[in-house]
Structure 1
Amino acid sequence: MALSTYEMTYLITNIFGTYIVYKFMHVFFKTKEANHKIELLSYAGYYIFIALVYLTINIPLIMIISNILAFLGLSFNYKVGVKRRLLSVILIYLIVMCVELIVVLLTGYSNYSWLSVNSYSSEYGLIIFQIMLYLVVRILNNYENIRKGETIPVANWISIILIPVSSLYIILALFQATGLVWEQVLVGVVLILLVNFTVFYLYDVISASMVDKMDKILLGQQNKYYQKQFELMESSLKTTKAMRHDLRNHLAVIYALVEKGERDAALKHLTKMTDVYDDKKQYACTENIDIDSILNFKIQEAAQQNIKIALDLSIPEKMGIPSFDLAIILGNLLDNAIEAVAELEKERQIKTNINYDKGRLIILVENPYQGERVKVGNRYLSTNKEPSQHGLGLENVKNVLQKYDGTMDITQRGNIFSVSLMLFV
């Protein structure tokens, strides 16, 4: 069957349209972790699928359903939660649909039926539609907070997704209503598009507020880490001053006892001095203030639950990693380990190795556990009823690792849960 000029124009312009869909997806989703070969094949498959549906069926309602399902399929190229996936797909398609309908109405086509074969045939309209859609996606691409991946509260998500879903229904109803002239329908579609642009803006603002909230939580954690480190330094300084103050007197007593030949008494006095000044608590002391602060805070936290953190540290004073990133990595890994070990009656110890060698920072955290760690895809779920109180999650650790081209390996051997990281700094 020979294709008409309009159908040929549709197939050609839809190549550009597929690229625009790709750009829309990149507005909402991070693409670094996507497999780019599979991503390319999936968009080629999308183009072929939509073209076949259009050439064989071309009923608007079927096209709507096909596009939404295809968009949903394309979104699986990117690692996001269900809430963000659904909201993004619906919002993307609604914006595409509104722009298309505005062009259709402006090019003089008003006899639009959702359930019968589409008879629209303006080649200029197809070209204008793709140009307008490209301008829209370029504008939306300026909103960067959406793709950062912060999880918005359920109540906010429901409120936001309700608007595009309702808008879709209103558009369908508008074109089925009788007695409306095309200008009224056009104004209605434009207003719906503006409303959903506002939703897009609100989504970006809420995402930004979540990022800001998380930054404040991390800043609060850092302040606690540093406060603990300052307390340790102050305590150590007081102990040193006390030793220096009393040392002359102690040496005088020991000297007198030795001079009299009272060896046992001298040794007893030395033992008392050791007991008074020897700090049996285990603390991190590497001269790297950031790591020491985090580790010492967590050591104290673990000690309150009778959990020991065994340290093996070999790191320089400076490494070029912001304390903010270290707080996310070490804070989260140790929180998860403490949470798991707290459930045990014995073997209450966490092994922590941090080593720096030739531009590579290697971190290993191992802890025993009981039961099973629930895994969904590549993600381990917290067993705590309020996991938000235990760090930012391994997914956020992965996000930090991306900055340093780092890797993370999670293993379970017997009853030992192990997380090892390697960062290039």
Structure 2
Amino acid sequence: MDIANFIIGQLVGLAEPLLVLGFIIKCLGWKESIKHQKRIYIGASLFVFLVAQGNGRFPGSYVIIIAIDVGLLCIFSLLFLTKNSVMKIMICILAEVINLICPLIVMQVTSYIINTSIFDFLQNEGSIFAAGAIVSKILLWLVYKGLYSSFQYLVLYFPKEQIILTIVLVGFAVISENCIFLAVSQKGVSHYTVILLLIVSFGIIALCGYVIYMMITISKKSEKMQLYKLIELKSQEQERQLEEWKHSEESIRKFRHDYKNHCMNMEHLLEEGEYESLGKYLKQFAMGELGEVRSIYSDSPIINAVFHNKMSICKEKGIDISCDITGNVKCLDNLIVGSILFNLLDNAIEACEKNQKEKRIICRIAREADEVNIFVENSIEQSVLAENQLLETTKDKKDQHGMGHLIVEEQVKRLGGMVEYYEDEMFCAHVYLPV
């Protein structure tokens, strides 16, 4: 029986680092460059398991082994996993704290049920101790599973202040639990004292859990508020685009009307033999009216309208813009694609306005088989992504930070496509759309 209990204890002990590292990996995710992920996972778990064998071998080993475990988990996450350093440290500490609290709770409850002290319970490594170890690992697995389901909100919507508060709360909980554990594990502690400390222990855990739950609830509401704001902004954007399209249509209609008058004037000069005057007239006409309306010819009226409007704006702002369309883009003749182009070109124009030297925008749309690729490039004088990875706007309305890019990403996703941003001497936004 002793051998069976020993084997069960070792297997349960090995399950502990597997669960802890599994939770951390699931939350943070592997770096794309990492190969042989399963081997690294199993190898790291075995190493942590071997380190844990030092528990109880020397004075103060309990605290020292915990500190070593946290350090090893942080090193593992920094080397092999994604997310920022603060998030990595928080998840590693949280995983280790939960790993410490679950066995403590099971030991306290079990010792109370069998009416014995924790000291005697720890000294007797029998079947009850083995059963308690198994229950603690099942509890650990359930807690990790529940936490991971809410982790996406923590990553996306928890500000740094809430993350730090979570770390402080978790740290307070583990220190309190360990103090209670050390108190009740001494010889001669009365049964009544154990009950009181057990109530305090559950109270601390419940309080910390409630605070973290409330922060997650608030973050979910924050997510909904952002979505509502995005929907409102999209509505405003569509109204603005409709107004600009109407303005573009009126400009084209006015140009057609003026064009007839210009043709009549040139015809009159030709009939009168005023060839020199006709030449000057043509030159002025080309520099003025025709220079203002550089037509884009595609089989998508919406794309034509968008480009015409943005070309007019670029001319007013002294920005050189060129557009190239290849292939049949009739499939892009819808308001969603028009909105994507509007926002991408608006972002490019806003970026060029800040340049002191070169102000240039290059837009390319290419249809190939069953896909369309849209590239909008703008000149930059220094790296944008290095200082502003979230692509936040520099406009006065700070409550709309990054909303233009959010709209683009949301609409591209709606069409089943992808969007990426990169720099190659110029800042480039690339949109891929399946057709």
TM-score by length of 1: 0.71
Q: Quick one: structure 1 residues 17 and 158, their matched pair in 2 at CA, closer, same or farther if it must change by over 3 Å?
A: closer
Residue deviations 1:271-311, cap 9 Å, x none? 88878864716697863859976x78987887776443433
Q: What's the CA shift for 1:65?
A: 1.8
1:85 paired residue among 83, 88, 110: 88
**In structure 1, distance between residues paired with 2:229 and 2:131:** 53
Q: Aligned letter for 2:100?
A: M
User: How many angstroms apart in 1 are the aligned matches of 2:5 and 2:406?
Assistant: 47
State how far apart, in whole Å, the 2-side matches of 1:110 and 1:272 are: 101
Q: Distance in 1 between matches of 2:164 and 2:276?
A: 78
Cα deviations across residues 78-133 of structure 1 (Å, max 9, x unaligned)?
Answer: 321233223323333333322221111122275469xxxx7573111111111222
Question: Which structure's relative contact order is higher, taking Cα pairs within 8 Å and 6+ residues apart?
Answer: 1
Q: What CA distance in whole angstroms lies between the structure 2 residues aligned with 1:243 and 1:330?
A: 23
**Aligned pairs for 1:324-343 within 5 A:** 335=347, 339=351, 341=352
8 Å CA contact 1:27–1:143 kept in 2: the answer is no
Structure 1 residue corresponding to 2:107, chosen from 95, 100, 104: 104
1:56 aligns with: 54
Give the partner amino acid of 1:53.
Answer: V
2:39 counterpart of 1:41: yes
d(CA) in 2 for partners of 1:152, 1:271? 61
Which residue in 1 is equivalent to 2:140?
133
Checking the alignment, whether the CA contact within 8 Å between 2:293 and 2:312 is kept in structure 1 is: no
| Contact 1:410–1:419 (Cα < 8 Å) also in 2 | yes
Q: Are residues 1:158 and 2:158 paired?
A: no
* Aligned counterparts of 2:132 and 2:335: Cα–Cα separation in 1: 52
Give the SS at the match of 1:345: coil
Which of 189, 198, 210 matches 2:201? Answer: 189
8 Å contact 1:285–1:292 — kept in the other structure?
no
Which position in structure 2 is the counterpart of 1:169? 175
Alignment of 1:328-367 (within 5 A): 335=347, 339=351, 341=352, 344-367=355-378
Alignment partners' CA distance in 2, 1:103 and 1:79: 33
After superposition, the CA RMSD in angstroms is: 5.1
The one-character-per-residue Cα deviations of 1:25-80 (angstroms, maximum 9, x if unpaired) are: 36633x37555745423322332122212223343323322332233234344321
Flag structure 1 segments of 5+ consecutive residues without an equivalent. Answer: none
Aligned ranges 1:24-423 → 2 under 5 Å? 24-25=23-24, 28-29=27-28, 31=29, 34=32, 37-58=35-56, 59-76=61-78, 77-108=80-111, 110-111=117-118, 119=123, 121=125, 122-143=129-150, 145-146=152-153, 149-150=155-156, 152-177=158-183, 181-216=193-228, 218-219=230-231, 222-223=234-235, 225-242=237-254, 278=290, 280=292, 287=300, 306-314=318-326, 316-318=329-331, 323=336, 335=347, 339=351, 341=352, 344-370=355-381, 375=386, 391=402, 410=422, 412=424, 416-417=425-426, 419=428, 421=430, 423=432
Segments of structure 2 that go 5 or more residues without pairing to the other structure are none
CA positional deviation for 1:256:
6.7
Amino acid in the other structure paired with 1:92: A
Which structure carries more helix by proportion? 2
Q: Deviations over 1:178-220 (max 9, x none)?
A: 7772223322332333334334433433443454455455545
Q: Which whole-Å CA distance do the structure 1 matches of 2:52 and 2:422 have between them?
A: 46
Say which one has the larger Rg: 2
* TM-score using structure 2 length: 0.69
What secondary structure sits across from 1:145 in the alignment?
Answer: helix
Which deviates more, 33-42 or 9-18? Answer: 33-42
State which drifts further: 165-174 or 314-323: 314-323
- On the 8 A contact 2:321/2:360 being kept in 1, the answer is yes
CA separation of 1:230/1:46 partners in 2, compared to 1, >3 Å: closer, same or farther? same
Taking only the aligned residue pairs, the percentage that are identical comes to: 18
Please list the CA deviations of residues 322-371 of structure 1 after superposition, one character each: whole Å capped at 9, or x if unmatched.
Answer: 959x85x99579748954x5554322213333323223444445444445
Which residue does the alignment assign to 2:20? Answer: 21
On the 8 A contact 2:157/2:223 being kept in 1, the answer is no
Contact 2:365 2:373 in 1 (8 A): yes
Whole-angstrom CA distance in 1 between matches of 2:395 and 2:75: 32
C-alpha distance in structure 2 between counterparts of 1:249 and 1:272, whole Å? 14
Is the 1:288–1:318 contact (alpha carbons within 8 Å) kept by the matching residues of 2? no
1:376-396 superposed Cα distances (whole Å, 9 cap, x missing partner):
9xx969799999876379999
Q: Give, in whole Å, the separation in 1 of the partners of 2:96 and 2:321.
A: 51
Paired residue secondary structure (1:351): strand
Distance 1:347 1:330 in 2: 22
